Structures are given as C-alpha cells and as structure tokens.
Amino acid sequence: MTGARDIRAQLSHPVIDADGHQLEFEPLLLDYLRDVGGGLFAARAQDALRTFFGWYELTPSERRAARAVRPPWGLQTTRPDDIAACMVPALFRRNMDELGIDYAIVYPTLGVPYVRFAAPELRSAVCRAINQFYADNFRDHADRLAPAAMIPMTTPGQAIAELEHAVGLGLKVIVIDCAVPRPIEALAPLRAQVSPGLARVMTWLDTFGVDSELDYDPFWARCVELGVSPTAHMAGLWGTRTGEALCKSLFLAGVTFRFPRLQVALLEGGASWACSLYADLIGHWEKRNLAAIEAYDPGKLDRDRLVRALREHGGERYARLLERPLDESCRGLFLLSGWVPEAGWAPRDPALLDEFARCPIAREDDIRDHFVDNFFFGCEAEDPSVGWALDGRLPMGAQLRVMFGSDIGHWDVTDMRSVLAEAHELVERGHVSPDGFRAFTFDNAVRLHGRHNPGFFRGTSVERAAAAVLEAEPR
C-alpha cells in the first residue's frame, strides 16, 4: 500500500478530513465542567454518562429481559502514539503531514454522550463547558484544525443560545444530534410508575421537522445568518436510520425550501441510504403529489362495475357475499384507502393528504436542487458507497455531496497513517475518478463550510485552494 505522504504528493489539491475525532482527556474536561457549574454539576454530568454504560452492570438475563443494547466499544490499543495524538491537538497537528491531511474538522467523542444523556436542564451548561474546552485547546492550531461545538437541540431557544455562544468563542463548526427523544404524552401516567431506565425508552424521536411540536425555523435561520452549516453524527442503536430520519424530516418539512442557503451534513453514515432516499423522494412525489393522489379517491370508484366483475369472475362463493354494500362488507379495504363510509374520503384537508404540502415542488428538478445542494454526507475512508454517490447514475444525473471523514480516534482506525491510502483505493480500483476523489476529499468540504462563510478558511493552510473552489461556484 502506497504511503499517505506519497499519495498526497501526487494530488493536485489539498485533503480535508471532514470528520476526525478528539479523544478528550477526561480529567481536563472535568475541570471545565467544574468551572462552569461546580463539583456537584460535574458529578451529575458524570452520573448521566454512566447511564450510557449501564449495560455492563446488568446480568445476561437482565440484558435479555430489558433488551438492553451494548454501548459502542473498542479503542485500538496497538498504537498508543495514535491515542496520544487524538488527545493532544499539538501532537496530532505534528502528524498531519505524514497522514496526508492538510486540514481537519475535529469532533467530540465523550462530548456526545455527555450531552445526549445529561438531564435536559443540564445540557446547555454541559455544552458550554465542552465548547470552552475545545476553543481553548485548539486555539493555537486554527490554521490546520477546526473543532466542532456541541449544540443542544432540546428546544430551539436553547440551540440558538449555544450556537451564538460557540460562534462568540471563535468556533466555526457545530454538531447537533439527529433527534431528541420526547416523552409520549399518552404514557405519562405509566412513566410515573416505572423505573427510570424503562421511562427513558417510553419516547418518540423528534427530528426537528416533520411532526415536531416545536418550531426550529428560528434556529435554522440563525445558522444561515451566522454562516454556520449544522452537522449531525449518526450513532447508537438506530445507526444510519437517525441520519435518514433527520434528512427526510427536514426535506419534507420544507426546511431547505424556506432556507435555500442552509446546508446540513450527515456524518458517519455513508451515502448508500442517501442515494436510495433521493431516488425514493422522486419516485414518491411522482405517485403522491397533490394532483396524483386524486387517483386514490375511493369516492371515484365505480362500485357497480367492481361488483359485476367480482360476480362474474369470483364464482358462487363471491356472489353470495355481495348482497351487502361494498362499503360495509369491505370496510377494512376502504379504510385502508382512507375511506370512511360515514364521512367519505377522510381527511379532506390537503395539508394532511399531501405528503409534500410543505415543499413547493413543481417538477422533479426542484427535488434535485433542494436535496443535492443542501445535504452533505460523511463517508469513511473505505466506504464503497462513495462511488455510487458520484457516478452520475442517480435520477437526473445527480452527484451527491460526499465528504471524506477519517474517523481517526475511533475503533475502526487501527493505524491513522493508513486512512488516506484506504480512501485512494477507490481510485485505484476504478470506483471513483480522480475528479470524484477531489470532490470527496476536498471540494465538498470546502462548499459545506465556506460557501456561505467566505472567511471560514481564511488564515488556514488551505486558504488559497479553498478560495479557488468557492470562486468557481455558480452565483
């Protein structure tokens, strides 16, 4: 395998790692938590984190009874120097040339579960401590490294407040959860009677768009005003499904139509689901747009003709069961079609009938334009779905905005020196063209972070190359 430094020397463009990771030095992180809220606050944050790892405290029978899911695990242990580099920004920076990486976006590791499992009233303060930790530790390395700030999404107001604070700290990248669990209102009486562990799973997932009871438009608007592109990590039990849920929710809620400058990245899930979702949106719109669904109105069904056909071809067994009106005898079938005999086709409200009501789509091109231009997808080095996203065979020749994410710092990178070489194998095997590799490892990350924030790459090691990409963008 060709070394990363040699591969980088052969490329005509820089390499941006759109998704690396810091392994937080926990004693130092706890100091920041204490600075924000005191010792009791830090202890509560640690207790919340321990619930994430509660699986280890259960017996095998308790795990089966509770259907408890083992938390993510696995930290490579053969290269302690790699672990140290992921803990100390200065050491990681010193290694970047050997890794073939010119610039890197660095995401939290412990920070994610610290925020995700904190009590709702603690999340803002936990984020504030974590973000100060990142701002301080990466400040001297801004020309090569950009840390991501944690943004709590429990409420839009909470999210806006921490977004503004993070930008004030000089942080240019933000990371949000794909979804926030919400209590199911109908189960409120039961929640008071069960254990905290069981109560935690009596929830539904709010993906900030479709079906959300809160209006997140002010948060998306503030992101656009500040030139910040939200990124979201997929993780945990639901894996890539949470990323797909967020992407679909925002699209069908019309968020990218109301905020055409908003760009959202879904990280660590690859692009295979995104290719499928893009194609599905087009196919579903063709069959279920407001004009097309008139074909499903059971009120237009010629029932007499249907009865005659059933009598003629169904034989005696059918004939003797056709004495009653179809609306009564085949009630289940008509209910499946949205037909209530007493009320007709229900509901008649177009906003409820039309799944695309919040998306002003006039033609297929509108789906392409508001999906391809607004969503970016993080793919790890060896992910073959990169080729599918870039080969132009999706509807209307679309090429999705895939980005190279090393995932350095996590279990699947056993030697961080091999990551760029693994990614370049996509070119060597003919799955991705050199131009596609450039889009994957550089251009798309520049577009995500720099298209609406011209100063994002100012003063960085890739400033001139990034400016050339942005200058070539259509106005």
Considering only residues 339 and 291, tell me which one the structure prediction assigns the higher pLDDT: 291
Give the model's pLDDT for residue 238: 56
In this prediction, residue 153 has a pLDDT band, given cuts at 50, 70 and 90, of very high
Give the model's pLDDT for residue 4: 95
Give the model's pLDDT for residue 473: 86
| Percent share of the chain, pLDDT over 90 | 68
Lowest mean pLDDT among 52-61, 142-151, 277-286, 306-315: 52-61
CB-based contact 175:183 (threshold 8 Å): no
| Percent share of the chain, pLDDT over 70 | 95
Give the model's pLDDT for residue 235: 59
Most trustworthy range by pLDDT among 134-148, 283-297, 324-338: 134-148
**Closest by Cα among 10, 4, 5, 13 to 439:** 13
Look over the chain and give the mean of its residue pLDDT values, rounded to a whole number.
91
371 pLDDT above the threshold of 60:
yes
239 pLDDT above the threshold of 80:
no
Lowest mean pLDDT among 142-156, 346-360, 371-385: 346-360
Mean pLDDT across the stretch 242-261?
95
Mean pLDDT across the stretch 349-362?
82
49 pLDDT above the threshold of 90:
no
407 pLDDT above the threshold of 60:
yes
Lowest mean pLDDT among 122-131, 158-167, 203-212, 349-358: 349-358
Lowest mean pLDDT among 75-89, 96-110, 287-301: 287-301
CATH architecture of 4-287+362-471: Alpha-Beta Barrel (3.20)
In this prediction, residue 296 has a pLDDT band, given cuts at 50, 70 and 90, of confident
Give the model's pLDDT for residue 168: 97
248 pLDDT above the threshold of 70:
yes
CA distance 182 to 325: 44
Q: Look up residue 278 and give its two tokens.
A: 């893009």
In this prediction, residue 396 has a pLDDT band, given cuts at 50, 70 and 90, of very high
Mean pLDDT across the stretch 412-436?
95
In this prediction, residue 347 has a pLDDT band, given cuts at 50, 70 and 90, of low
253 pLDDT above the threshold of 70:
yes
Domain ranges of the chain: 4-287+362-471, 292-353
Lowest mean pLDDT among 275-279, 351-355, 422-426, 447-451: 351-355
Mean pLDDT across the stretch 74-98?
94
CA distance 136 to 138: 6
Q: What is the CA radius of gyration of the chain?
A: 26
In this prediction, residue 297 has a pLDDT band, given cuts at 50, 70 and 90, of confident
SS (H, E, C) the chain: CCCHHHHHHHCCCCCEEEEEECCCCHHHHHHHHHHHHHHHHHHHHHHHHHHHCHHHHCCHHHHHHHCCCCCCCCCCCCCHHHHHHHHCHHHHHHHHHHHCCCEEEEECCCHHHHHHCCCHHHHHHHHHHHHHHHHHHHHHHCCCEEEEEECCCCCHHHHHHHHHHHHHCCCCEEEEECCEEEECHHHHHHHCCCCHHHHHCCEEEECCCCCCCCCCHHHHHHHHHHCCCEEEECCCCCCHHHHHHHHHHHHHCCHHHHCCCCCEEEECCCCHHHHHHHHHHHHHHHHHCCCHHHHHCHHHCCHHHHHHHHHHHHHHHHHCCCCCCHHHHCHHHHHHCCEECCCEECCCCHHHHCCCCCCCCCCHHHHHHHHHCCEEEEEECCCCHHHHHHCCCCHHHCCCEEEEECCCCCCCCCCHHHHHHHHHHHHHCCCCCHHHHHHHHHHHHHHHHHCCCCCCCCCCCCHHHHHHHHHCCCC
In this prediction, residue 240 has a pLDDT band, given cuts at 50, 70 and 90, of low
Give the model's pLDDT for residue 351: 63
Give the model's pLDDT for residue 170: 97
